[in-house]
Structure 1
C-alpha cells in the first residue's frame, strides 16, 4: 500500500513538473489579453464591434477598450469574467466561425515560441515594445526617461503602463513627429534613449488635452480670449507669441521647456484680454499660423469646437452630425462654398486636388475610406496631422479624434482631397 502511495505521488509530481509549461503556453499563446497586438486581436475586435460590445473601431491592439468589451461579453454570456479572450470566450463569441490560435503566432511583432519563458530585463533594450497594461522595471525605466524630458508628469515612478504613461508617450511621439499610438515601440525607444532627445514641446498644428490646458492657462493670464478647443491654431500661436514677448522669452510661437516653465510659474507677467489680437483663425498679422495657411487653421479650429457632439445619420449640425454632415459644417463655416454632399460626393469634387499617398497628407485634407466589406467610399473626416483625423462616426460616439496609423482606418484608406 505504501509503495502504491509513493508511486502515485511520484506520478503527480512528474505531471506537475510539466504543468507550468503547458499552462504558460495556453495563457500566453491561446489567450488574447491586454498588451497583445496582432491579426487575432483585430479579428476579435471586429467581432466585438459587429456585436456592439466594442464601440471604437478595430485597431489590432488589445487595450482597455477591448478589455472592457470582453468583460461585458463574458458577463452577458455567464462566462468567467477576467477580461481575457481565451478559447471559451472566443468560442462563444465566434460560434461556428471559431478557430484555435496558432501557437506560433506573432505577438507584438515577435514570433512566439510555446516553450519560451517570459523575459525579465531590468532596463529597456532596443528590441522591446512596451504597451499599455505592461508592468515592471522596463516600464519604470521608460517613465524615468520620459520624466527627465518632462513628458511624464506624475509625481512618482510606478512601473505600471497606465493612462498617465500612455499620455506621456503620445506627447513624446507628437513632439518628435512620430505616429501617435501610445505604444513605445523599438523606434520610439531608440529615439528616447538617444543623446539630445527633445524636451516636451507643443507646436502649432498640435492637438490634445494638454493644448486645451495650455489655452486655459493663457486665457486665465489674459493672453487668449477665444474658446479653448485643444487645437494649436493661429489664434493660439498669436497668444503664445504675445505671452513670450511680455515675459522676455524668445518669440517663436512654440511652447517648449522655457516657455512652459514661465507659463506655469507664480511670478508670470499677466497680459490683457486682447493680447491674442484676434478671435478668428482667418486673421493675419502676428496671429498667422506657422503653417502659413490660416484657412486650414480656421477649419480645424471649428472642427475641434464640435468634439463630443453625437452622431446622427443625415445630420449636418450644429447639435449632431453624420460624417459628411460634419465635413460640410466645417467647410461652410470656414468660408468654403460647397453643397451638402455625401462622403463619396466629396471624394469626387474635381476642383480639389486628389491625394493618394497617405504619407503626402497635410492638415486640413479631407480623408475618405471604404469599409472591410465594400470598395466604395463610405466615410470621410478631416486630417489633423501626426496620423490622426477628426470625424463623426457611430463607433467613436460622434465627433472625436481618431488615429489613422493602424487598424481599421489604415487598412481602408482610399485617398484625400486637398481643399486649401
Structure 2
C-alpha cells in the first residue's frame, strides 16, 4: 500500500478543487462579459468553450495515472486520513506506518494493525530522535514523509544518544561483562558505552564502529554471543566461590573445584532459568549478584521438566540403582518421579518426588543408600519418561500459561512476568512449563536445533513455536496463535493469518 500517495491525494484534490473553481469562475466571467456585450443568453458555442476549458482538469480525477486506485483504503469521503496520526487513532494508514517502522528496525516485526498505540508512539519518538525531528510521538506530514522516504535510515544508535533503548543495550553489555560497573547503565550512550560496544564487536567479529545497528542488536541476545567475563574453561577463586554457592542452592551436582566445566555451565543455566535471568551459562555481574543474594531461588525439579540438569539427576539415580539406564532421557517423567520418591524414602527425606536442594545435595553427596535388592528401579511406575506431561504441563500447560498473560503490555527486550517482547514471551512461557530454554531473539529461533523442526506451515499444530521473519509466537490450535504483539502493544491471541503464512520460516515442536 503506497500511503504516500494517499497524503499527496489530499493536496492534489485541494488543488483540483481550487483549479476547478478558478476555471468555473473564468468561464462564468467570460460568459458574463459576452452577455453584457450582447444582452442575450450565452450561445451554445460559448458553453462549449467553457466545457473545453474544464476537460483538462477532469483528467486528474481518481482512477487516472496520477492517482492510482489504493487497494484496502476506504474512500476518503467515508474515512478521511487524520491530519495528524497520534496515540489512540485507528485507521488503515497506521498499518502501513507500522510496517515501515518494522522494516527500518524501530518496531519488532509483527502483523501490522490499524491501531496507533503506545508501542507505535514509542517507535515514532525513537525515529524522530534519530532523524532530528521534534520527539512528540505524533506523525504529521514531515515525520510521515521522512519515514516513508526511500532514504529513511535504519535504527542505529551511537555516542550522544539517550533513551530507554540505550538502557536496555547497556544492561546487556553489563551482563556480558563489557561494561564493568552497574552505574554505567544510565541511559546515556557515552564514551564508556562506545568502548564497550567496540570491544563487543571486536570479540565477536563484527565491523568495529562503536555503533549499535541491526547486526549488533541481534547479536546481543543470541546464543552465539561471546562474553567478556568468567566462562567455560577458566579456573579461579571466583569460580570456586560461585560453585560452592551453586552447590548450597542445589544446582551443582559435582564437587566444587574452581574449574568452569560442563557441570558448572549446566548449573549456572539452571540457576539463571530459576531466577529470571538471561540463560547463557556465563557468570556475569548480574548472575553473580543474584547468586549471592538472599532472594536467590534454590533448585527444584518436578514432573515435566527436561534438559541437562534432569539428565544429571537421572544418571545419579541410575548409579545408585533407582532408575534404569534406558530411562536416562533428560525428561522428568513419571518413572523419574517414582525413582526420586524411592531414593528419598530410602535416604530419610520427604518422599514428594521432586528434586529440591536437600534431595540434590544428598544425591550428589556421600553416604548415599543405594536401592540394593529393593524393587525400586523405576519398573513399577506408569507412563513414559520421554513422553509429554499430563495435567498442567506439556501442550495444555504451555497454552494455559501463555493465555494467563493475555493483555500484558509489550515492551521491547522484556522477559516477563509483567511485560514481554515476542521472544521474551516464548522464553518465559517455556521456562514456566519446565522447558529450560535460553533467551533467543527471533533470529536465534531460526536455528535453535534441539527440537523437532517443522518445515511446512500446514504441519503446525497446537503447542508449536512458529517462527516468521522477525517474530515468534505459540500456535494455539483452532487457527490461532498467542504472541506478544508490538502492533497491538500487548499479548494477544489472534488468527494465524496469511501474514504468518507469507512470512513463515519454520516451526519447532517442543512436545511429542
Do the two structures share a fold, i.e. TM-score over 0.5?
Answer: no
Please give the range of the TM-score, normalised by the shorter of the 2 chains: 0.3 to 0.5
Q: TM-score, normalised by structure 2?
A: 0.36
Larger radius of gyration: 2
Q: TM-score, normalised by structure 1?
A: 0.42
